Amino acid sequence: MTRYGMLIDASTCAGCDACTMACKYQNATPSGMYWCKVLKGEYGEYPNSGQTVLPIA
């Protein structure tokens, strides 16, 4: 049986969730079910703050 995978370059992720929507469309998953997600977090305090994003499949 053939098994497929997805390679994501996390350093170029902008956190736009386009990969999440493409995965959902391609696999026709039901409402509320996601196989691919983008975790988002914040660090630091103003004015030295930022956001990190981590795509997971």
Does the pLDDT of residue 45 top 90, yes or no?
yes
pTM: predicted TM-score of the whole model, two decimal places: 0.67
DSSP, res 15: S
- Amino acid 43: pLDDT: 94
- Amino acid 11: pLDDT: 83
Give the separation between CA 31 and CA 2, rounded to whole angstroms. Answer: 27
Q: Where are the beta strands (DSSP E) in 1-57?
A: 37-45, 48-56
pLDDT per residue over 8-34, tens digit each?
Answer: 788 888 889 888 898 899 889 898 888
Average pLDDT, the chain: 88
Identify the burial level of 17 via C-beta atoms within 10 angstroms of its C-beta, where 0-12 means exposed, 13-18 middle and 19 or more buried: middle
